[in-house]
Amino acid sequence: MKREFPLKVTIALIPVAIACMVFGIYRGEVATVLSKAINICMECIGLG
**Residues of the shown chain interacting with another protein in the complex, contacts defined by CB under 8 A:** 1-2, 4-5, 7, 9-10, 13-14, 16-25, 27, 29-30, 32-34, 36-41, 43-48
Minimum distance from CB of 17 to another protein (Å)?
Answer: 4
CA-CA-CA-CA torsion sign (40, 44, 47, 48): positive
Q: How far is the CB of 26 from another protein (least distance, A)?
A: 9
Q: Helices in the chain by DSSP H: which ranges?
A: 7-26, 29-37
**Nearest approach, Cβ of 40 to another protein (angstroms)?**
5
d(CA 16, CA 30): 18
